[in-house]
A and B are shown apart, each in its own frame.
Chain A
Amino acid sequence: MKNKVRELRVKHYLAQGQLAEAMGVSRQTINSIENERYTPSLPLALALARYFGVTVEEMFDDQG
C-alpha cells in the first residue's frame, strides 16, 4: 500500500532502526512497509500515524 512512512521518517531525521524500536517491530518490517511490500496491521498503522502526528488516511493511501 502506498504510504508516506519514509517521507515522514526522513523529515523527522529518524533511521529505520530508530522508528522500528519506537514501534516495537523489526527494522525490516519498517523497510517492507516503506517499500510497499507489507501492509501493517491496524494497531501498527495507528501507532505510526500517532507517532508522526498525522491521520492514518494522511499516511496510507489505499487508492494508489
Chain B
Amino acid sequence: MTKGSWCGFTRSKWFLPAFSLVLGLVMLAVSWLGGDPGQGLVSLAVLAGFGLVILLAGRRSETIRGLSGEGRDERFAQIDLQASAVAGLAVIVALIVAWLVATARGQSGEPYDWLLAIAGLSYVLAVGWFRWRG
C-alpha cells in the first residue's frame, strides 16, 4: 500500500471500524493465549459493535465522521489536537493520583512512576523536536 493510498484509507469511513475489528481480533488472540478466550470474545463483540455504531452513525454526525477519519479537514485536525491534549492530561493526572495513592499505601509506585517518566520525557522530547522543526 502506497503512502497516498494509506492516507486515503485512514481518512475513509472504513478506517476506525476496521481498526476496531482488528483490535478486537488481537485482544481475542491475546486472551486466548492467556487462557481466557471468553474475555477475548467479549472484547471482540464490544469493539466490533463500536465499529458498527461508528460506521452507521457517521452518516448523521460530523463528530463521528471526524472520529472515524472521514472528511477530516483543518478544523477537525485542530479539534483532534486539542482533544488529544485533554486526553493526555487526563491520563497524566490519573497516573499522578495513582502514584500518590500507591506511595501513601507504602507500595513502590510501580508501574505509575515509569509511566509518568515516559509521559514527561516524551513531552520534553516532543517540545524539543517541534521547536527544532518550527
Interface 1/0s, chain A 20-50, versus B by CB < 8 A?
0000111011001000001011001000000
Q: Which residue in chain A gives the minimum CB-CB distance to B73?
A: A25
Whether the pair B73, A32 counts as a contact (CB closer than 8 A) is no
Give the secondary structure class of A's interface.
Answer: loop
Give min CB distance, A64 to chain B, whole Å: 20
B66-94 interface (Cβ within 8 A of A): 71, 73-76, 78
How close is B127's CB to chain A, nearest CB, in angstroms? 22
Contacts of B76 in A (CB 8 A): 26, 29
- The yes or no answer to B62 lying at the interface (CB within 8 A) is yes
A12 to chain B, nearest CB (A): 21
Instruction: Report yes or no: A44 in contact with B74, Cβ–Cβ below 8 A.
Output: yes
Shortest distance from the beta carbon of B134 to any chain A beta carbon, whole Å: 15
CB contact under 8 A between A38 and B75, given known A26-B62, A28-B62: yes
Interface residue ranges, B against A (CB under 8 Å): 62, 71, 73-76, 78
Q: A26-B71, A40-B74 are in contact. List 9 more A-B contacts (CB 8 A).
A: A24-B73, A25-B74, A25-B75, A26-B62, A26-B75, A29-B74, A29-B75, A32-B75, A38-B75
